Structure 1
Amino acid sequence: MRHVRWAAAFIALGAAMTPDPVEAAPTYEILKFEDLDGWAEDDHAAALEVFLETCADIKDAEWATLCALATSQPSARTFFELFFRPVLINGEEQALFTGYFEPELRGSRTRGGPYQYPLHSKPPEVANGSTWYSRREIEEQNLLEGRGLELVWIDDPVDKFFLQVQGSGRVKLAEGGAMRVGYGGKNGHEYRSIGKELIRRGIYEPHQVSAQVIQQWVKRNPVDGPELLRHNPSYVFFREVSEVPSHKGPLGAMNRSITPMRSIAVDPSFNTLGGPVWIEKGGATPLKRLMIAQDTGSAIKGAQRADVYYGTGDQAGRAAGRIRDRGRLVALMPIQTAYTLAPNG
């Protein structure tokens, strides 16, 4: 939720346990709209509204033309069917869907009482792309203390950790009101999965691990819990996001607000950011819906990989945390692009 460039919590905890996909030349197959299970029943107007949020930001002449035409058609469904073709990329792969959300924490702009755990802005000496001190070094050596880098004080160190994994969130302030914080940089260390570490230690089986399970384990273990968190050397800094109205979603990778259950994070090397993507997610809560690719994540790799944005708060977090489902993704591409990639389609 990153100008959120996240390793979202459920991306990081789930996908980090999956082997990296083998690099291979992508394959493309043009489908018909009637091949999309549930296409006729979807709310295409809702998808079009989200598409219009970011289509003007796609830096491509063909997309610019489509964006200009988007509101001139008799219906949203007609627009998508007239100007796009469904393209299945790497159809031999089965898709993996996970979910993410915007956490809502409790905090205060001043330190006191339960509010003892600061979210920091990026130190001036930390350059983008460079490697700074690890999480362990930052915490054990108090490298950020007393430098005026505190944005807000949180009441729970585990919530702070997961906010750093998620990349952005909302803080309900003890003084009243709320503060939205977004990704402001990192220390340059790669994310290391603490869920995978719990499995390696034999504490849990892979199917048992979720963000909630990890949070509860850390809180039950006041010594081993903080040590487990330091297994992840990555440390994320924040900035206050004051330009986003409270009723809007957090900023995605396109620096625009994302929409619950219509925005997804994808691998931009396969799917155009801002473009429509049809998803067919299985599992206990099947989802067949036209989504808009408006975000990315460091663990979202491959043509058949997506993270569904579920919204803000605990309820959204619980829903997102249960998602690790199979299915397929089908990109909707402008007609010329589709037939260029799949000339025999």
Structure 2
Amino acid sequence: MVHHTISTSTVSASSASSKISPMRNSLLRLAVTALIVGMLAACSSPPVQQPEAPRAPVAAPAPAAVPPPLAGAASLPQGGRSRWVPVAWSELPGFADDNLFEAWDAWVKSCARPAPAFAALCPEVRRLSIADAAEQRAWMVERLQPYRIEAADGNAEGMLTAYYEPVIPAARLPGNGFAVPLHRPPATLGSRRPWYTRQQIDTLPEAQAALRGREIAWIADPVEAMVLHIQGSGRLRIAEPDGSQTLVRVAFAATNDQPYQSVGRWLLEQNLTRDATWPGIRAWLAANPQRANELLWSNPRYVFFQEEPLSALDGESGPRGAQGVELTPGRSIAVDRQSIPYGTPVWLASAGPQAALQRLVLAQDTGSAIVGAVRADYFAGWGADAGELAGRLKQNLRLWALWPRTP
């Protein structure tokens, strides 16, 4: 899944919705518009650059005895953008308090497509899915070694953002206000690289002809379409011609190979606003409706989707991430695959005005904006509360990879 990141102002961790605590409840999606800002920086490419607000640093852990080099540690990933430093379990903040049961579901999903280093552990991971947290914690201490993730220069501080699945009203046919199409990849996509820009898709007859008949559905707001393109996946409540409603997922299928450009950054660079948060962008659009296309066309990247049905059971799961497994709200993160391999369990610690998070997560996705050793995008789920969190979360981060010991 390809996505950008989001950032704006303040919200509590609990507002990330019932999908995050507990993870078994469904999220509702937020006014997608209020999210584009943060998204102005998410799952289609780099995060929105806004004036940096002071970020509360994560408290440094108390000194702990670091174990000697492990003769029994599985081979560590070589190269990449990060360095891994072995540490004692006592360095992981909040390790004794996390509700590991919530994360275990995400780990079991990773075992459907495990990284080679974790394949041998998956039978035990599945068996422990019915164990209590104390037993799960004891098994982790016995079978895994924590490594503090640092940049090449030794910096262990990074940035956490979040992303989510928008939920958008839609129709199968244009009309009644539904005028913005969401497209499948065109048959000619591979015939030219890069393909047409967003502006060309909206204005050139040959680009429009190539997309004719490729519409999945139509939505009402071009800004919501941009949000969906930034997130890379979303849910549509489609009004069918017979009057019924169908819930479907539109998942990332391809792009036009054009570079992603943040619309928030464009506003700042044009000196059109000093506030690249969603309220600032919304206020600018309200005052300058005739320039809406100019704003949208500043981002030439265009995303094509594929439709996936959603049953009641499927509705409890997120889209498939880059690892190829379904994402779990509050327990899946997107990472730089040059720093952390997919399927790696990771201890995450982040403190800031939006959320206080100390928990086990799984590296199951990536995004073109997610670059660097200590960098993660937190999958918040779907719906209003998830969108609120995703639109605001941008704060300090520390990460520890949990890597297998050999038996």
Q: Same fold (TM over 0.5)?
A: yes
Residue aligning to 2:399: 329
Structure 1's 310 and 213: CA in aligned 2 closer, same or farther, altered over 3 A? farther
TM-score using structure 1 length = 0.87
Contact 1:212 1:321 in 2 (8 A): no
Contact 1:11 1:307 in 2 (8 A): no
Quote the offset at 1:304 in angstroms.
0.3
| 1:154-197 Cα shifts (integer Å, max 9, x gaps) | 01111011111111100112231212101111111110111111
Residue aligning to 1:343: none
Residue aligning to 1:79: 139
1:14-29 equivalences under 5 Å are: 15-17=47-49, 26-29=82-85
Cα distance in 1 between the residues matched to 2:147 and 2:157: 15
Quote the offset at 1:295 in angstroms.
0.9
Q: How many pairs were matched up?
A: 327
Cα distance in 1 between the residues matched to 2:254 and 2:97: 41
Structure 1's 238 and 43: CA in aligned 2 closer, same or farther, altered over 3 A? same
Pair 1:150 & 2:219 matched: no
* SS in structure 1 at match of 2:300: coil
Residue aligning to 1:264: 333
Residue aligning to 2:93: 37
* SS in structure 2 at match of 1:183: strand
Q: Amino acid of the residue matched to residue 277 of structure 2?
A: S
Query: Cα RMSD between the aligned structures?
Result: 2.4
Structure 1's 71 and 183: CA in aligned 2 closer, same or farther, altered over 3 A? closer
Pair 1:177 & 2:246 matched: yes
* SS in structure 2 at match of 1:39: coil
Quote the offset at 1:128 in angstroms.
9.4
Contact 1:44 1:290 in 2 (8 A): yes
Residue aligning to 1:165: 230
Residue aligning to 2:73: none
Structure 1's 8 and 27: CA in aligned 2 closer, same or farther, altered over 3 A? closer
Cα distance in 1 between the residues matched to 2:303 and 2:170: 18
| 1:124-177 Cα shifts (integer Å, max 9, x gaps) | 111299311111111111423572011001011110111111111001122312
Q: Amino acid of the residue matched to residue 44 of structure 1?
A: L
Report percent identity of matched pairs.
34
Quote the offset at 1:260 in angstroms.
1.1
Cα distance in 2 between the residues matched to 1:223 and 1:262: 42
Cα distance in 2 between the residues matched to 1:313 and 1:212: 19
Pair 1:69 & 2:124 matched: yes
Residue aligning to 1:223: 290
Structure 1's 253 and 156: CA in aligned 2 closer, same or farther, altered over 3 A? same
Quote the offset at 1:66 in angstroms.
1.1
Structure 1's 129 and 318: CA in aligned 2 closer, same or farther, altered over 3 A? farther
Residue aligning to 1:318: 388
Quote the offset at 1:47 in angstroms.
1.3
Quote the offset at 1:209 in angstroms.
2.6
Q: Which stretch of structure 1 is more off in the superposition, 130-139 or 228-237? A: 130-139
Q: Where do 5+ consecutive residues of structure 2 fail to align? A: 7-37, 51-78
Pair 1:106 & 2:169 matched: yes
Contact 2:330 2:378 in 1 (8 A): yes
Residue aligning to 1:339: none
* SS in structure 2 at match of 1:15: coil
Quote the offset at 1:11 in angstroms.
5.9
Residue aligning to 2:261: 192
Quote the offset at 1:102 in angstroms.
0.5
Contact 1:7 1:166 in 2 (8 A): yes
Q: Which stretch of structure 1 is more off in the superposition, 147-156 or 136-145? A: 136-145
Q: Where do 5+ consecutive residues of structure 1 fail to align? A: 337-345
Equivalent of 1:202 in 271, 294, 300: 271
Cα distance in 2 between the residues matched to 1:129 and 1:183: 20
Residue aligning to 2:16: none
Quote the offset at 1:72 in angstroms.
3.9
Q: Amino acid of the residue matched to residue 87 of structure 1?
A: Y
Quote the offset at 1:322 in angstroms.
1.1
Pair 1:305 & 2:375 matched: yes
Cα distance in 2 between the residues matched to 1:233 and 1:243: 30
Quote the offset at 1:220 in angstroms.
4.6
Cα distance in 1 between the residues matched to 2:159 and 2:191: 30
Residue aligning to 2:2: 5
Structure with greater contact order relative to length (CA < 8 Å, sep ≥ 6): 2
Residue aligning to 1:280: 349
